Chain A
Amino acid sequence: MTATAVRDETTKESRTMKVESFLGRHAALMPTFAALAILLLLFAGAEAFLRGDFITPRNISALLLDNAYLLVLAVGMTFVILTGGIDLSVGSVMAFTGILGAKLLADGLPVVIAVPAIILGGALIGLVIGVLVQYFNVQPFIASLAGLFLARGLAFVVSLSSIKVEEPAILWLQSTRITVGSWYITPTGIIALLAVAVAAFVLHLTRFGRTVYAIGGSESSARLMGLNVARTKVAVYVISGLCAGLAGLILTAYSGAGYPRNGIGTELDAIAAVVIGGTLLTGGRGYVVGSMVGVFVYGTIKTIISFMGAEQSWMQIIVGALLLLFIVVQRAIVARSEGRR
């Protein structure tokens, strides 16, 4: 009996040691786990409240479909925030590329030209912001704010009113439903998930990705270590712009039209999702998968509120409160990991 007690003791000890070393390695994961826990809580709460009508294959599938554009934006935003920057332009860029695509298609251009034009258009605005930030030393907040106004203005230049899209290839992205039982996924959803997968791969397993984290940790150290800081910093804004262009395509397919007033304030939703997903606003810590969780938390709250028939303004109050909670959680974790030293 004593022998078992001793063994219990040692297994317990080795378990705490494992937990310790896990925490030492992955302190940055904790906020992401917290986001996941909140997502599950939301699901459970809604399920209980709506008496089993919430967690249905239809609802969960719709969650991805309805938020595909936001997910793509959040992926791009994660790159920027990881370097310690911010990109306020993505909502406008999404609107501009969307209306641009709709206009090009309405003018009779083929899809093979219109779609690359949309994505390149987004990347180009990202490039301008990146160059401003890196080579003209403009604060990311200001540079991307300029990008926001530029893209919104360009959207109105393209068209003042909404342009309907009738191109079957674009509508296909939205209307095709690959079904498994009563679960379904659209090509737009697949694009969004692919974006997450590619981003996770790039961030964790390529030199470029690790340089992104390094810049967020300390830009001057990264420079002294001989990493290519300039190129990487420009590249994250290009990636964010590219993602915004892709989101423009997805949103156009989703709504079947381009509209210059689309996505006003969406950049803030994307930032909120990234922060809720556990990425530190000061950079260097966070995961793109966390941003995906953040988008789902955001989408779920929206769905719950529309199910309950409550005012949409509650949406913003709840997201605001969650954001506050997460920033406090992050501060606590950072303080803890510094205290462990």
Chain B
Amino acid sequence: MDQASPLLQVTGATVRFGADAVLRRVDLNLYPGEVHSLMGENGAGKSTLVKAITGAVPWTEGRMTLAGRDVQIASTEHAIGLGISTVYQEIDLLPNLSIAENVCLGREPRRLGVIDRAAMRRRAREVLEGLGLEVDTSALLGSQSVAVQQLVAIARAISTDCRVLILDEPTSSLDLDEVAELFRIIRELKARGVAILFISHFLDQVYEICDRITVLRDGELVGEYLTDELLRVDLVQKMLGHEGAPLRARDRETPERASGEALVSGRGISAGGVVEADVDLGAGEVLGVAGLLGSGRTSLARALTGVTRLDSGIIRIEGETTDLESPRTAMSLGVVYSSENRRRDGIVAEMSVLDNITLGLQAERGIIRRLPPAHRRELAMSWVDALDIRPADVDRPAGTLSGGNQQKVLLARLLALAPRVLVLDEPTRGIDVGTKVEIQNLVGEMALNGVSVVFISAELEEVLSVGDRVVVLRDGRIVDTVDASSLTTDGLLALVARPDESEV
């Protein structure tokens, strides 16, 4: 494969924001007809490299050649014009426009300078059908589910004659079938000679689809490898820069759950997408929640924390029936919630890490009893230290941190409230392996200190390794509650999948 020359070649790419070099002399070679994976922890510089290639951030140094010719990417428009299409990590589409427009915007079919709407809808439908999605292309994008939006973003990227396709975490909101469909498309594009850069935290997916891997660490190049020649253990080690020991699950303490002594107990909870759910959560217990997208796992979390009101059912906390009418009520009872969408419902991106961490505590104390500034700083510093938030600068705007560190800031805010019940909705989604393990370990520590945790994750291994017991949701109903130690990943998969499919 090496005899072919790279379609896109990046040499010595350096990007500086102020004094910080986020990317230092990184090389990347994308070959036509090859799927290339860019791997690295959070803050390794993956997103920055992608943005540099697509013209979204300016280069400090380095050069890039496309098909052997030097190019200087001036803007995202320019990159698209050169045939470099990108699907960004967070869906960057326009909820106020139709699906068809989101696919075709900027390159709508025109007749005499006038947009030909029928042709535009037709083209969008063709591309989407190629992705196995049949929707009303005139519907507003905002009215669609996240998975559909993700597919629309991919459709937009492949609807042009792209030579280079960059997929930054395209699978984080897709279910298994949709991922399979996406991989089929990727293979098709590969056969057409498109060079594909695929970024994902799921090692399975990387090994399934990618031919070549480039590893980055702390903004520097570690190396480029052929997937077939790189063992997973080695890959993880190269990403982490030390032995892969933290990947092992925490040593499980045998849960000493006194039966009948539930801290939180819900009976017949119906709210949003969840129907008649019964949940018990003991003190110091970690309850894993497994289920596919749309199985009601988020609805359950929101019902337990007062974000959505119950349609029916009751929730008892320490045996007392409570009406969780708002997140504020829930917080006053020691029940706190971390949303799956940390950028939208979690972090206040413009505020500093310091303010983000102390926000919850200040809100609880009320506006009159201000936390003294010195105390706040000390508090924030201690959390930054305890959770190893990097960079350790509490005055930095939280939005400039990497995803994993933003999640840690969010956790620090909740933990500062000294909660009794912590409801974490996909706390490890879209963050790197190292931080993921840290958060999993943190959950274990919290449980040892008597905090009860509801841990929701799309990754079954994680649910099993973190949870003491696992609640399995399917189509809005709890189908089973099992001890995590008695279950294998395959066993859990069978429970999560539909029964008729699990027969296979």
Residue positions of A touching B, CB distance < 8 A: 21, 24-25, 27-28, 204-207, 210-211, 213-214, 216-218, 220-228, 284-285, 337-338, 340-341
Contact = CB atoms under 8 A, between A and B. Distances in A.
A224 B56 contact: yes
Contacts of B86: 224
A25 B139 contact: yes
Interface in B53-110: 54, 56, 75-77, 79-81, 86, 88, 92-98, 101, 105-106, 108, 110
Chain A's interface: helix, strand, loop or mixed, by majority?
A: helix
B113 A206 contact: yes
A213 B139 contact: no
B449 interface: no
Interface string B427-453: 000000000000000000000000000
Contact of B142 (A21, A223, A228, A337): A337
A337 B106 contact: no
Interface string B1-43: 0000000000000000000000000000000000000000000
Contacts of A207: 106, 108, 110, 115
B367 interface: no
23 contacts: A24-B140, A27-B140, A28-B96, A28-B140, A207-B110, A207-B115, A210-B97, A210-B101, A210-B105, A210-B115, A211-B106, A213-B94, A214-B105, A218-B94, A218-B95, A221-B92, A222-B94, A223-B76, A224-B88, A225-B105, A228-B77, A337-B142, A341-B145
B502 interface: no
Chain B's interface: helix, strand, loop or mixed, by majority?
A: loop
- Leading 8 A-B pairs by shortest Cβ distance: A217-B94, A284-B96, A226-B77, A217-B96, A221-B92, A226-B80, A24-B139, A226-B76
B138 interface: yes
Nearest to B114: A205
Nearest to B51: A224
A104 B307 CA distance: 64
B94 A284 contact: yes
A155 to B, nearest CB: 37
Given A207-B110, A224-B54, 18 more contacts: A24-B140, A24-B143, A25-B136, A207-B106, A210-B101, A210-B108, A210-B115, A211-B106, A214-B94, A217-B94, A218-B92, A220-B92, A221-B94, A222-B94, A225-B76, A227-B105, A227-B106, A337-B142
A24 B136 contact: yes
Nearest to A23: B143
Contacts of A217: 94-97
Nearest to A216: B96
Given A207-B108, A224-B76, A226-B77, A214 B97 contact: yes
B144 A341 contact: yes
B327 to A, nearest CB: 17
A221 B76 CA distance: 11
Contacts of B139: 21, 24-25
A206 B81 CA distance: 20
Nearest to A282: B96
B126 to A, nearest CB: 20
Q: Which of B79, B81, B101, B145 has the most CB of A within 10 A?
A: B101
Given A25-B140, A220-B92, A206 B77 contact: no
Contacts of A204: 115
Nearest to B78: A226
A226 B140 contact: no
Nearest to B92: A221
Interface in B110-144: 110, 113-115, 117, 136, 138-140, 142-144
Contacts of A225: 76, 92-94, 105-106, 156
A209 B56 CA distance: 24
Contacts of B92: 218, 220-221, 224-225
A230 to B, nearest CB: 10
Nearest to A228: B77
Interface string B205-232: 0000000000000000000000000000
B95 A205 contact: no
Nearest to B91: A221
A27 B143 contact: yes
A208 to B, nearest CB: 10
B284 to A, nearest CB: 36
A285 B115 CA distance: 19
A325 B145 CA distance: 30
Q: Which of A213, A220, A226 has the most CB of B within 10 A?
A: A226
B226 to A, nearest CB: 32
A34 to B, nearest CB: 18
Contacts of B75: 226
Contacts of A227: 77, 105-106
A220 B349 CA distance: 15
A51 B151 CA distance: 59
A337 B88 CA distance: 25
Nearest to A222: B94
Contacts of A25: 98, 136, 138-140
Nearest to A201: B114
Q: Which of B54, B86, B136, B139 has the most CB of A within 10 A?
A: B139
Given A27-B143, A284-B96, A205 B136 contact: no
Contacts of A337: 140, 142-143
Contacts of B143: 24, 27, 337, 340-341
Nearest to A214: B94
B173 to A, nearest CB: 13
A205 B119 CA distance: 13
A213 B110 CA distance: 18
Q: Which of B93, B96, B97, B142 has the most CB of A within 10 A?
A: B96
A218 B91 CA distance: 11
Nearest to A215: B94
A132 B3 CA distance: 53
Nearest to A218: B94
B89 to A, nearest CB: 11
Nearest to B79: A226
A218 B94 CA distance: 6
